Amino acid sequence: MNKRWTIHQIKEFVEKNSESKLLSTEYHGFSQKLLFKCACGSNFEKTFTKFKNNNQRKCDVCQPSKASR
């Protein structure tokens, strides 16, 4: 069963598992993009699912997207 995350739980996860900071203040579901601030100071958007499961925890400059197959 999937766990429903709150914005507070997401913020704690981000603080414990990355150098990025969560800037978004509301969370409405897994498809919503959240706003993060990378350790380098750049802002970036990712869904929490990608952030959590795919280790996409930095901006596109610090962690470039993998080339599509």
Per-residue pLDDT tens digits for 4-63: 899 999 999 999 999 999 999 999 988 999 999 999 999 999 999 999 998 899 999 998
**CA atoms of 64 and 18, how far apart (whole Å):** 16
**CA atoms of 26 and 58, how far apart (whole Å):** 20
Q: How many CB atoms lie within 10 A of CB 24?
A: 17
62 in a structural domain: no
Q: How many folded domains does the chain comprise?
A: 1
Q: What is the pTM of this model?
A: 0.86
1 in a structural domain: no
> Each residue of 30-63: b (16+ CB within 10 Å) or e?
eeeebebbbeeeeebebbbeebbeeebbbbeeee
The whole domain housing 17 covers 7-54
